[in-house]
């Protein structure tokens, strides 16, 4: 299943410092009470090209059935209902069905069930809960000698670590998953792990290594008939071309990924790749076209309930408005994007949102910006804390 990937932020170029006291941001009736960190620049020249957009790679969650379709009806039927609910993007219903199956499942059957619950949590942005489910799946899979189960769980933990910007631990988990996947002989899982490792290498600036692995993953996906893997591979190769400034080649690959996703009705990949195309048009300076693609990607991400992708496309829509000089239109998008990133604990993307909001504050003035914060649903306390974040970023801007 597709993972994190509309365009994303370069976490390898940023460090997380300075714990902020009292960081409660309220959007509507939702108050965020968890203490958060504010990212800063390691070296301004190193990340300059990445500060005006939120960039991501297309990580993929590994779904796993583990023979449940052939199991007894009291386990297989709720499992199939859960898979159907996932296809319909009804994540809570899917989780309920999987929990029902867990009540009657054997220890071996719990391996894929915990994994599938974790995937549902991941899409909803419940990342800590997702990791707990994947850890339990991994523990049980190790006990049962289930290599595919272990590889799937370790891969998915790596995806979440990458989402958090923890590149070293993400790479460790995904490499562990790849080794076990190779032992299992499951080539689709091998390709999936290769693609996710490549995305981490890309964020580490190792573009040639990343491109080679992406091409290997794409070749395996084509050989095994893994059409979602083809979408992922094309999009990931396009992201390398974009990083290298080869924008026309990037557009060709992204367009092929979008066409494939549309053909197979892979809604998650379709939404993500639309946003990626928007990013290329942004790089080209065609802001109207960029905005249209980001807005379409946002609508798609909302439809499937993929929360981190929603935050990404809200941010990129807002940043495109900033670039166009439409600062008042940018503020509500950036506020909602930042609120989601804070709520799910994902640092990558927060910096760009805050830079965009500081730019809006510069142009609109504090009084007008405050009014827009209130219109966006922030409480008085949330508005004060948002300004505190903006002011801290302003003091550290290159």
Phi, psi of 10 (to 5 degrees): -95, 90
What integer pLDDT is reported at residue 386 of this predicted model?
A: 94
Q: Which helix (H) or strand (E) holds 19?
A: strand 14-20
Cα–Cα distances in angstroms (integers) from residue 189 to residues 16, 102, 152, 220, in the given order: 32, 24, 8, 10
Burial of 358 by CB count in 10 Å (0-12 exposed, 13-18 middle, 19+ buried)? buried
What integer pLDDT is reported at residue 25 of this predicted model?
A: 35
Give the torsion through C-alpha atoms of 361, 363, 364, 369, to 10 deg: -10
Which residue stretches of the chain have pLDDT < 50? 1-49
What integer pLDDT is reported at residue 24 of this predicted model?
A: 33
The string of pLDDT tens digits covering residues 68-85 is 878 899 999 999 999 999
Instruction: Report the mean per-residue pLDDT for the chain.
Output: 87
Phi, psi of 14 (to 5 degrees): -130, 145
Q: Angle 380-396/350-364 helices, nearest 10 degrees? A: 100
List own/partner pairs for 75-83 with CB under 8 A and 24 or more apart.
75/101, 75/104, 75/105, 75/109, 76/101, 79/112, 79/113, 79/116, 82/116, 83/116
Phi, psi of 191 (to 5 degrees): -65, -40
The string of pLDDT tens digits covering residues 142-160 is 999 999 999 999 999 999 9
d(CA 31, CA 52): 28
Q: Which residue is listed with tokens 């959007």?
A: 27
d(CA 102, CA 117): 10
Which DSSP string corresponds to 21-70?
SS---EETTEE--S-EEEEEES-HHHHGGGTTS------B-----TTGGG
The full set of domains in the chain, from first to last, is: 11-66+146-396 (1.25.40.10)
Number of residues written out for the chain: 398
Instruction: Report pTM.
Output: 0.84
The string of pLDDT tens digits covering residues 157-202 is 999 999 998 999 999 999 999 999 999 999 999 999 999 999 999 9
For residue 110, give the nearest of 155, 79, 87 by alpha carbon.
Answer: 79
For residue 27, give the nearest of 292, 391, 385, 354 by alpha carbon.
Answer: 385
d(CA 242, CA 207): 11
d(CA 62, CA 349): 24
């Amino acid at each position: 299943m597709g993972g994190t990937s509309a365009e994303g932020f370069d976490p390898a170029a940023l460090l997380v410092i300075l714990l902020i006291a009292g960081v409660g941001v309220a959007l509507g009736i939702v108050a965020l009470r968890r203490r958060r960190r504010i990212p800063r620049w390691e070296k301004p020249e190193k990340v300059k090209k990445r500060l005006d957009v939120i960039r991501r790679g297309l990580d993929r969650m590994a779904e796993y059935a583990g023979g449940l379709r052939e199991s007894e009806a009291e386990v297989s039927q709720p499992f199939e209902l859960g898979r159907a609910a996932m296809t319909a993007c009804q994540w809570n219903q899917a989780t309920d069905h999987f929990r029902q199956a867990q009540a009657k499942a054997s220890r071996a059957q719990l391996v894929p069930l915990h994994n599938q619950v974790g995937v549902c949590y991941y899409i909803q942005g419940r990342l800590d809960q997702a990791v707990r489910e994947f850890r339990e799946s991994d523990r049980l899979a190790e006990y049962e000698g289930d290599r595919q189960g272990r590889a799937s769980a370790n891969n998915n933990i790596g995806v979440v670590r990458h989402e958090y910007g923890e590149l070293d631990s993400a790479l460790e988990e995904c490499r562990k998953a790849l080794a076990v996947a190779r032992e299992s002989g499951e080539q689709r899982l091998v390709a999936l792990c290769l693609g996710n490792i490549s995305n981490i290498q890309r964020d580490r600036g190792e573009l040639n290594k990343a491109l080679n692995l992406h091409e290997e993953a794409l070749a395996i996906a084509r050989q095994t008939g893994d059409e979602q893997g083809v979408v992922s591979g094309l999009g990931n190769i396009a992201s390398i071309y974009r990083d290298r400034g080869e924008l026309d080649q990037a557009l060709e690959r992204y367009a092929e990924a979008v066409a494939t996703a549309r053909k197979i009705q892979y809604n998650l990949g379709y939404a993500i790749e639309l946003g990626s195309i928007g990013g290329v048009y942004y790089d080209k300076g065609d802001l109207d076209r960029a905005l249209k693609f980001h807005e379409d990607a946002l609508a798609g991400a909302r439809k499937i309930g993929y929360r981190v992708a929603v935050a990404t496309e809200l941010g990129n829509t807002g940043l495109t408005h900033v670039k166009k000089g439409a600062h008042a239109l940018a503020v509500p998008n950036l506020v909602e994007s930042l609120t989601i990133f804070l709520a799910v604990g994902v640092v990558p993307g927060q910096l760009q949102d805050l830079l965009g909001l500081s730019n809006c504050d510069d142009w609109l003035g504090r009084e007008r910006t405050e009014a827009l914060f209130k219109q966006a649903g922030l409480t008085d306390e949330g508005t004060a804390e948002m300004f505190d974040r903006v002011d801290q970023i302003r003091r550290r801007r290159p």
